[in-house]
Amino acid sequence: AIVKGEEIQPPRVPESFKVLIKELRSLGLNAEILDPNEEEIPLAEDDASGYLLPDLGGINLAGFED
C-alpha cells in the first residue's frame, strides 16, 4: 500500500480469531466480545470486508463471572 501510494487500511480481526470463536461456539461455549461498557460487539459471520479490530479490554465468557 505504501509503495503504490494507497491508503493503509485499519487493522482487521485475524481469520484465526474468527475460527476460534466458531470452535468455542461449537463446543457449546457462548463467547462474546464486550466493549469497555460491557456491551456486546457483534461480529457478522460473512462480512467480506473483514471486521475492524475492536478494542479488546478482555473476553467475557458468559457464565464464568463472579
pLDDT, tens digit (0-9, with 9 covering 90-100), for 10-60: 767 777 887 888 888 889 888 777 778 888 877 655 444 455 555 545 555
Q: Into how many domains does the chain fold? A: 1
- Report yes or no on 56 lying in a domain: yes
pLDDT at residue 46 in the model: 47
Q: 3-class DSSP state for residue 20?
A: helix
Q: Show the domain range for 38.
A: 15-61
Q: Length of the chain in residues, anyone?
A: 66
pLDDT band at 3 (very low <50, low <70, confident <90, very high): confident
> What's the number of CA atoms in the CB half-sphere (13 Å) around residue 61?
7
- Report yes or no on 1 lying in a domain: no
43-46: which pairs have CB atoms within 8 A and are 24 or more residues apart? 43/13, 43/18
pTM of the model: 0.45
pLDDT at residue 57 in the model: 52
Q: How far apart are CA 28 and CA 20, in angstroms?
A: 13
- Report yes or no on 7 lying in a domain: no
